[in-house]
Chains A and B, each alone.
Chain A
Amino acid sequence: GENVEQHPSTLSVQEGDSAVIKCTYSDSASNYFPWYKQELGKRPQLIIDIRSNVGEKKDQRIAVTLNKTAKHFSLHITETQPEDSAVYFCAVDSWGKLQFGAGTQVVVTP
């Protein structure tokens, strides 16, 4: 089955700096890669996703890059703000099911 690894597990950044989270996967047939943000006790919220036919996608301060050859994709958050503090999960669609990474606790300090 699909194996998704996510790094780092925790990330502390100064407000205004950038944050980068990276995920690797094992199944080369996977073609859909969403990122979710989850605040404590709340539902995961889709923040951005990318499909295998593109290498990069951007939405305001958030961007995702995908390297299908190397089987890794990354989330980039620029100009971080305190409200960006949350747990971020990458996921990989494998045969119609999402396999989640272990999550990254992001803390943005003012």
Chain B
Amino acid sequence: GAVVSQHPSRVICKSGTSVKIECRSLDFQATTMFWYRQFPKQSLMLMATSNEGSKATYEQGVEKDKFLINHASLTLSTLTVTSAHPEDSSFYICSASNRDRGTDTQYFGPGTRLTVL
């Protein structure tokens, strides 16, 4: 149980284009989803927290107009990187939890490797 998928696993795009990444909880309802960014040889940095049906909460320094997050259902959240630039190249990982089950455990997706040329 507690499987989280992400799509795509890898994407290469040109500078200035937008990229959408999907995060799905496959066998549980995710009341909360989190989006992280991880640069090579670094730790995971939380970008934003999203709760189903409400606006995402962004961490300090993360531009909400650049990283659009939608959590339309209890099993799906999307991250759209708008007008991507080379400095946005990174490993983007989502996680999901179900606090209604009284647990703080986060289950991670496999990540999306974004390369902006």
Contacts and interface: CB of A to CB of B under 8 A. Distances in A.
Contacts of A46: 105-107
Interface in A30-56: 32, 34, 36, 41-46, 49
Q: Number of contact residues on B: which range applies?
A: 20 to 34
A43 B43 contact: no
A41 B40 CA distance: 9
A72 to B, nearest CB: 18
A93 interface: yes
Contacts of B91: 41
Given A89-B44, A101-B43, A102-B43, A42 B107 contact: no
A98 interface: yes
A97 interface: yes
Interface residues on A, range: 20 to 34
B44 A100 contact: yes
A110 interface: no
Contact of B104 (A32, A44, A103): A32
B34 interface: yes
9 contacts: A32-B104, A34-B105, A36-B108, A43-B111, A45-B108, A96-B99, A99-B46, A100-B44, A102-B43
Interface of B: 32, 34, 42-46, 49, 91, 93, 95, 99, 104-111, 113
